[in-house]
Structure 1
Amino acid sequence: MLPAFLTIFLTVFLAELGDKTQLATLLFATEENRSPWLVFAAAALALVASTGLAVLLGSMAERHLSALPLKLIAGVGFMVIGAWTLWGHFQSA
């Protein structure tokens, strides 16, 4: 159980480093007259809620799809997002 927990934790932690959500949180924390604890609590609650939704949807999808198609769908989804990001970069250059 601990190896699975550590694998999930490290994967999500590394995936979140430097993403748009973290940068937005950083910017919220720089605003004057805003408590860092308020930013932390709001951001943490938002991440917990979005993760809960992902776990719920993943659990529901698992009942209807085998693991291979889910990994395939996730992989293709990441490739589409990556291609879209690259496309946007080269369009603005």
Structure 2
Amino acid sequence: MAAFLTVFLSVFIAELGDKTQLATALFAAEGNRPKWLVFVASSAALVASAGLATIVGSVAREFIEGPVLKIVAGAGFVVIGAFILWTALKPAGA
């Protein structure tokens, strides 16, 4: 149960304010879609992407050692963060 809560809370916190959550909120805000459809479709998409990530992580584990995999994942987050900062700090029209 502790492992479940660790994964759940980690992913839940990581998803708060994420582009996926914002997109779901925007779809729900539009009046022409049933809210249940937005919930089911976005839930199915998250389940599918989590399944894909689980498979990729399991396969990667066979070829890359744990610490190296964590370093690569961390570096990926740093690169994504740097790109977001770079695009946000670029002068308008540049």
Q: Normalised by the size of structure 1, how large is the TM-score? A: 0.95
Count residues with an aligned counterpart: 92
Residues in 2 aligned to 1:68 and 1:47: alpha-carbon distance in whole angstroms: 26
Higher helix content, 1 or 2: 1
Displacement after TM superposition at 1:33 (Å) = 2.5
2:71 paired with 1:60: no
Q: Which residue of 2 aligns with 1:91?
A: 90
SS at match of 2:12: helix
User: How large is the RMSD of aligned CA atoms in angstroms?
Assistant: 0.9
What amino acid is aligned across from residue 30 of structure 2 in structure 1? Answer: E
What amino acid is aligned across from residue 49 of structure 1 in structure 2? Answer: A
Percent of residue pairs bearing the same amino acid type: 59
Q: Which residue of 2 aligns with 1:12?
A: 11
Q: Which residue of 2 aligns with 1:71?
A: 70
> Which consecutive unaligned segments of at least 5 residues does structure 1 have?
none
What amino acid is aligned across from residue 18 of structure 1 in structure 2? Answer: G
> Which consecutive unaligned segments of at least 5 residues does structure 2 have?
none
Change (3 A) 1:69 1:43: same
Residues in 2 aligned to 1:89 and 1:33: alpha-carbon distance in whole angstroms: 32
What amino acid is aligned across from residue 62 of structure 2 in structure 1? Answer: R
Alignment of 1:1-40 (within 5 A): 2-40=1-39
Displacement after TM superposition at 1:16 (Å) = 0.2
